[in-house]
Amino acid sequence: MSGSWGCPHEEHGKCNRVAGRDCDPGMKGCTLSGRFTFSNDEKNRTARQKQEMRKKDEPQEESD
């Protein structure tokens, strides 16, 4: 038995949430973006943004 997933915002290969774009699960504006981890790291914006924010918040070591 096989299963499949279908996005409720995809119609004929186009995204109804991001007008004029091909459906690409995880792209910016997608309802899945930031909620799931994708194999394509470019789609993992939220995790990457959080990591960058943590780096900015860490105290910087001063060099003499």
| Domain segments of the chain as ranges | 10-57
Terminal Cα-to-Cα distance of the chain (whole angstroms)? 64
Name 10's bridge partners: 15
- How many other CB atoms sit within 10 Å of the CB of residue 49? 11
Q: In the prediction, which pLDDT does 8 show?
A: 82
The pLDDT of residue 38: 75
In tens, the pLDDT along 7-64 reads: 788 889 899 988 888 988 877 788 777 777 777 777 776 666 777 777 877 766 665 5
- Angle subtended at Cα 45 by Cα 61 and Cα 59, rounded to the nearest 5 degrees: 10
pTM across the whole model: 0.49
Q: How far is residue 56's CA from residue 59's CA, in Å, rounded to a whole number? A: 8
